[in-house]
Structure 1
Amino acid sequence: MFDYDSELARYQERLSQALGIRRGDRVLDIGCGTGLTTRDAARAAAPGSALGVDVSGPMVARARELARTERVRNVEFVEADAQGHDFRPGYFSLGISRFGTMFFSDPVVAFATIGRALRPGARFVQLVWQAADRQEWHVAIKAALSDGHPSAMPTSAAGDPFTMADPQVISDVLSAAGFTAVDVVEVCEPVYYGPDAERAHAAVLQLGMAKELIADLDAVPVERALDRLRVTLDAHDTGDGVWFDSRAWLVIAHRP
């Protein structure tokens, strides 16, 4: 399982600063993955609580395991698609998401569902990626694995992570879903793939986009692609880890 928490550690810090969680908050975390954001929110909200929602069964199982290990008792996790989940209306005082809202089949319906789960006046704070061509990690890794021809890159079966890349689209979708006072701010942080190039190589090959790019290749083209990936990762090995530049939007919207 790819370690998104390590990859996004710098963004986790920026998100935490923006949340402003208060004691007693009831936090809803959309696309929680293995639950780091949810557990952190639960600790900050105590004696309140946090609920993490994700479509991935293995990630939710891992989130529950980590919560037990860390003895975070005011947290729950649900395996579900937030778009159609039956949340308790008006229950949550804060909604959050760290790169977990870009894959909805109908984003207006999804955000309207989330909005109904929030109490009046609550904020929904999320991070989403800017456009693909503004992500060094995306461009460099895919170019390496596709022989430098981005036009040959397939669309991921996991969905497009850049559907919320346009600030106007973000504002329009959230407004149509019933949110108000939508604020979109640029946030730029590097993303991390491992302590050295060799371990970063193993990590990248766990990504869906990497698997898809080499899935239909014969042995010799695969080996060439992996060699190009090693060169790319070596070039980004700072001596303090393998890092790539990235750009995101921090989005804050309000439930009227």
Structure 2
Amino acid sequence: MQSTDQLVRSVYDRIAELYDDRWGRHMRLPQDRLTEGLELAPGARCVDLGCGTGVETVEMLRRVAPGEVVGVDCSEEMLRAARARAAAAGLTLSTRRAEAEAFLRRAGASSFDIVTLRFCLAYLDWRSALPCLGRVVRPGGRAGILTNLSSSTPQAYAVYCRMADELALDRVKLPVPDSAGQVSEALERGGLCTVEAWTHRFRLWFGSGAQVAAWLQESGFVTHAALREFPPEMLQPLCDEFAARLEAYREPDGIPLDFELAGVIAAQP
């Protein structure tokens, strides 16, 4: 049986080619806002944890040249795409295949001017990991966090909860913060001071419940370890039932999924 880390790695290795289309392209506004808030300067040393295919990582690299950006991700296929993106821009990106928490534990004190975590709080113990950022950020440096909130995809989560109750299964709580305030509080426990915090809401539309279910898997949004407990012959009928029940949320424009993200910029005094 795969460990949670192995499951996440295998999912993102599989979807690396689809990731920018299924997820990344919807993130331009919040991603750009976070990057601007970092106040990147030439010569800075940065690390982008959960860098994915490197869209924002390469933009950071452009802004800090001749400085350094280290792209960290658990998926080698994601890192391969990030390096190719950097090379196409005439830049060289340093990469490390590692889980974010493991990288933070090994990083030296005050070793980076900028640390970012983008959409990886669901895969770590964020309550204990975020305070650790204060140790690795140099005085005058900044940390930037971008994450889904637990209020995201309420339509899909409601269907899941009903099905879990009917099957007498324990509900899995979405493993992300409830608010930008929770992210700020965790960073401040590590000695960082919040400079800016915001939320970003948007809605995606789908033609059918089956398309919603497929998108949740192809975007990497659903990677919970609980899925490992179901054999394939049982999991597919459950997915089909899940898709059918999403039809109850149909509106004139299709079936919506609502998202709420949080962005937080914090500084090291």
Output the TM-score relative to the length of structure 2: 0.69
Q: Give the drift of 1:212.
A: 1.5
SS of 2:123's partner is: coil
Match of 2:202 among 184, 189, 204: 189
Deviations 1:31-75 (A, max 9, x none): 21232221222233333332111233443344334434x245242
Distance 1:191 1:74, change over 3 A: farther
Output the TM-score relative to the length of structure 1: 0.72
Which whole-Å CA distance do the structure 2 matches of 1:90 and 1:120 have between them? Answer: 7
Aligned length: 244
Match of 2:31 among 2, 15, 18: 15
Give the match for residue 45 of structure 1.
Answer: 64
Deviations 1:67-126 (A, max 9, x none): 34x245242211123334333543433222221234333743x33443333221222121
SS of 1:96's partner is: strand
Give the match for residue 204 of structure 1.
Answer: 216
The one-letter amino acid of 1:171's match is S
Which whole-Å CA distance do the structure 1 matches of 2:168 and 2:70 have between them? Answer: 40
Does the 8 Å CA contact 1:83/1:113 hold for their aligned counterparts? no
Task: Give the share of equivalent positions with the same residue, in percent.
Answer: 20
Give the match for residue 127 of structure 1.
Answer: 146
Q: Note if 1:171 corresponds to 2:200.
A: no
Q: What is the Cα-based RMSD across aligned positions, in Å?
A: 3.9
Distance 1:51 1:83, change over 3 A: same
Residue segments in structure 2 that go unaligned for 5+ positions in a row: 1-13
Residue segments in structure 1 that go unaligned for 5+ positions in a row: none
Match of 1:34 among 30, 53, 63: 53
SS of 1:245's partner is: strand
User: Which stretch shifts more, 246-255 or 116-125?
Assistant: 116-125
Match of 2:98 among 80, 85, 88: 80
Whichever structure has more helix as a proportion of its residues is 2
Q: Note if 1:180 corresponds to 2:193.
A: yes
The one-letter amino acid of 1:232's match is L
Does the 8 Å CA contact 2:135/2:190 hold for their aligned counterparts? no
Distance 1:154 1:141, change over 3 A: same
